[in-house]
Structures are given as C-alpha cells and as structure tokens.
Amino acid sequence: MISPVDRQLIALLVDGRFHSGTELAGALGVSRSAVWKHLQGLSELGIEILAVSGKGYRLATPMDLLDSERIFAYLHHRASGLLTGLEVHGLIASTNTYLHELAEQGVPGGLVCLAERQTAGKGRRGRQWVSPFGRNIYLSILWRFQGGPAAIAGLSLALGVATIQALRQLGAHDVGLKWPNDIYWRQRKLGGILIEVSGESDGPCHAVAGLGLNVDMSTKQGEAIDQDWADLVAVLGGSARPDRNRVSGVLLNHWLPVLAEFEQRTLVDYIEDWREVDCMVGKTVDISIGSLAHRGTVAGIDDQGFLLLTDANGELRRFASGEVSFSKS
C-alpha cells in the first residue's frame, strides 16, 4: 500500500519543479530525514527522482496522477450511464485480478478499476506486464453477460477496434492491431488487451476486460520489456505529454458501449473495422502453439476472428489461438 504521506509527497512533486527538503518537510509535517526515507520509498516504486544540492528534489519528468473526478469530466453521457463505479488505486497487484475477485462476490457489472502501478500486472500467457508508477494506463472493466462465454467470443477483437478509435480521437495515427489483442505502432507494441471470463458454459458469466497502454515511459523503465515497444508520447510526436485522465476517459467512452452492446451485435459487426487496422496483413510471422511453431504470411482474419496464414506450400491455414511474432528472418 502507498501511505498517506507518500501520496501527499507525490502530489507535491508532480509539477516537476524542485522542492527543498525543508519545504517538503514543512508541507508534510515530518522531519527532513523522514522526507528522505519517503523519497527512497518512492524510488523503490520506480518513481525517478532527481536530487540536486542547493535545489532540492524533483521528479525526473513531470507526472499527472489519475483522478476519478477528472476522468468523469471526460465521459460522455452514454458511457457514464453504463458505469456502476470507478476506482483509482495507487498500488495494486492486478486490476484484472481485483475485479475478478469482486465479481466472485457478486459485485454488479460496470465497475471500472484503474491503478497508478501494478505489482503483478498480467499479459498474455501469464507474462508480467511492466507497470511503472504513474506513467501508463492500467485499466480493467467488469461486465456481466447472459449468454455464456461462447456468446462473447471475439470480444477482445471488438475492444481492439474500440481502442484504435479512441487513440485516433486522441490524435494517434499509424496505430494498428496485431492479432489477437495487441495494439501496435510501426511494429512496436503500444498496448495489449487481456480478457478473462468466468461463469456457466451456456448461462450467466462475467468478463474482466483489461487494457495496458504505454503512455509516457522512460527507456530505463522499459528495460524489462522483452520486445520492441512504444508509448503514446512517441506516437504523438513527443510534442506534449498526454493527460492520462483524458486518455482514460476517451478509452472508456469507446469501451463501455462495446461491452454493453456486444451480445446483441457480436463480432460480425466489428470484423471489417478490425481488418482496416490489421497491421499484420502481408507480413511474415511465426505462430507458436505449445511446442509447435508455424511460419507463414498473414492473409488477415476470417469472419470468426481466426487468423489466416499462408504457409510455405501456399496452403491457407486457420488458427483460433497462438502466440504470434513478426519473423526476424
């Protein structure tokens, strides 16, 4: 957990200006040595702090903290009407896991959870999602469906389309989708979607839809990522640091209607939009399924959302799942 003093200290430093130890101690009502200890604790959270003799302390780069009221201010009437709650956490193991646990307790759908940092954020196939404090978007939504998991097959593809639409509204161009649920910019990963479903096979079920989106991440913070990556700052040309509260609000404006309407509309209504932003068509890729690996040229996706791959023999193959990577040879 982040202590109240830590929260207050972060709030004092988010402007990116230097603050002396004496100034910080006075504002927090603690000693200068206590300020130093709290600053060390923030560093352990991955918050980069500069200390300059005679000037004091400041964040290496300015930071805007998430705020539920500011996010609400960006929501359209349609989206806000679909919400049952919006929580912002400073530190959490995983926004997806948190909402899944609440779902098991009977919490209604429409609950949104965001976090400044995740200690056990999840990517595909159990990978940990790199989650520096206050730099990216870690967002999950709990939604309940009546038709069972089969009725929401392809939901991640529909939410991928919604994500691209939101990013375009924010001014991001050249963004696309890599099957089945990654957001890419110029063959560099910008974000990813993870949907976890639980419930009856042909009855009521719940889904937790999560999004990790890189917004403003330093090279040092991205060292733990094992593939080429990008953040929204780079996509937007580095002219201005995006307001994460606005980014969150715009994403929710696009995500919530998709979740509310998906059982009635299904994947078919999103296929053509997905194909228009498919960043893999014509590319040579490797797809891994367990210990088996396949190589071929991507021919798009079919109407069920399966990946179409033309192999070396010219045979068109369909894949319902698998780990896809751009071929480096």
Which CATH number covers residue 297? 2.30.30.100
Residue carrying the six token digits 């202590």:
3
Residues 107, 27: one domain?
no
Q: pLDDT at position 148, please?
A: 87
* Residue 193: CATH number of its domain: 3.30.930.10
Q: Are residues 248 and 117 in the same domain?
A: yes
User: Annotated binding residue at 291?
Assistant: no
Give 19's strand partners: 57
Tokens of 7: 């929260």
Tell me the β-bridge partners of 49.
59
271 and 288 in a single domain? The answer is no
Q: Which domain holds residue 44?
A: 4-59
* 181 annotated as ligand-binding: no
Return the minimum-mean-pLDDT range out of 62-66, 82-86, 155-159, 216-220: 216-220
pLDDT recorded at residue 200: 82
As a whole number, the mean pLDDT across the chain is 91
Q: Answer yes or no: is 31 a known binding residue.
A: no
Q: Which helix (H) or strand (E) holds 313?
A: none
Residue 226 has pLDDT above 80, yes or no: no
Listed residue (66, 115, 116) closest to 243, CA to CA: 66
Cis previous bond, 180, omega within 30 = yes
> Do 256 and 240 fall within a single domain?
yes
Co-location of 246 and 315 in the same domain: no
pTM of the full structure: 0.91
- The CATH number linked to 43 is 1.10.10.10
Residues 271, 149: one domain?
yes
Confidence of residue 1 (pLDDT cuts 50, 70, 90): low
111 and 250 together in one domain: yes
Residue 11: pLDDT over 70: yes
Q: What pLDDT does residue 4 have?
A: 86
Residue ranges in the chain assigned as alpha helix (H): 4-13, 21-28, 32-44, 68-73, 77-82, 95-104, 155-169, 232-235, 244-265, 268-276
Check whether residue 309 and residue 247 sit in a common domain. no
Q: CA angle, 298 as apex, 297 and 303 as ends, to 5°? A: 150
Confidence at residue 228, expressed as pLDDT on a 0 to 100 scale: 87
* pLDDT computed for residue 127 by the predictor: 61
Domain check: are 299 and 213 in the same one?
no
Count how many domains the chain has.
3
184 sits in which H/E element: strand 182-185
Taking a C-beta distance cutoff of 8 angstroms, is the pair 221, 140 a contact? no
Verify that 155 and 186 share a domain, yes or no. Answer: yes
Could you say which of 237, 260, 276 is where a domain stops? 276
Could you tell me which of 160, 158, 157 has the C-alpha nearest to residue 168?
Answer: 160
List pLDDT tens digits, range 13-59.
Answer: 988 899 999 999 999 999 999 999 999 988 888 788 999 999 999 98
Structure tokens at 110: 């429409």
pLDDT digits (tens, 9 = 90+) for 79-136: 999 999 999 999 999 999 999 999 999 999 999 999 999 988 765 555 666 778 898 9
- What span, in angstroms and rounded, lies between the C-alpha atoms of 57 and 53? 9
> Is 136 annotated in some ligand binding site?
no
Last residue of a domain, one of 238, 258, 276: 276
pLDDT digit string, tens, across residues 259-302: 999 999 888 899 999 999 999 999 999 999 888 889 999 999 99
In this structure, are 53 and 88 located in the same domain? no
**One domain for residues 106 and 249:** yes
Residue 326 structure tokens: 């751009």
pLDDT in tens, 141-181: 999 999 889 889 899 999 999 999 999 999 998 999 999 99
**Is 94 marked within a binding site?**
yes
Confidence of residue 329 (pLDDT cuts 50, 70, 90): low
